[in-house]
Amino acid sequence: MSEKTILKLQLPTDPLWVKNVVESNIEELLTDHAFCEQKAASNAITLIVQNPNLNALVQEMALLVQEEMDHFKRVHDIILQRGFVLGRERKDNYVNELRKFIIIGGGREAQLIDRLLFSAMIEARSCERFKVLSENIGDTHLSEFYHELMVSEATHYAMFIRLAKKYAVEIDVEKRWKEFLEYEAQVIQNYGKSETIHG
């Protein structure tokens, strides 16, 4: 998978992030990852609550909630198998910075499309990080696990983009997505230094 062609991310993660940062603290990575899955489920629930009239979106998000919570449990299972304990929720500065780009006001359509593209952006970067983890981590079990999740995140990314295009009337989704990609490229420059999925 080429992130440039499929995910369109402008700045790839340095594989040394895995060797120099992640492998020294797998427990921290797994705790952060577990909460990323839980937050993804919460985001899907919020989209349902805010848009109960959009039948296709409600159906897709209901399935997504189940899948993300299944991933949460699978990460938690790994945490328990390794004798770790799920730590407290970690603050995700990357996601919080991305959130600042979402249009506040501007009508329901603009808010919905931005929320969907924001969600797609997180899935795209998570997919890219899982790919880097799967290819560089010196742990066969985690390598296989992250490869499986990489494929799943790519599917989620595509779904959010598809929904944005479905519900956009006045908004040029391709143009707005390009703006998101450019903004994300600036944000991600400050990350790749901690043992978190987006850190």
The confidence score (pLDDT) of residue 6 equals 52
Angle in degrees, 0-180, between the axes of helices 108-136 and 173-188, rounded to the nearest 10 = 50
Long-range contacts of 106-114, Cβ-Cβ distance < 8 Å, separation of 24 or more = 109/167, 109/168, 109/169, 109/170, 109/171, 110/171, 112/50, 112/51, 112/167, 113/164, 113/167, 113/168, 113/171, 113/173, 113/176, 114/176
Residue range 108-135, pLDDT digits in tens: 999 999 999 999 999 999 999 999 999 9
Per-residue confidence (pLDDT) for residue 20, from 0 to 100: 84
pLDDT range class, residue 198, cuts 50, 70, 90: confident
Question: Are the beta carbons of 123 and 184 closer than 8 angstroms?
Answer: no
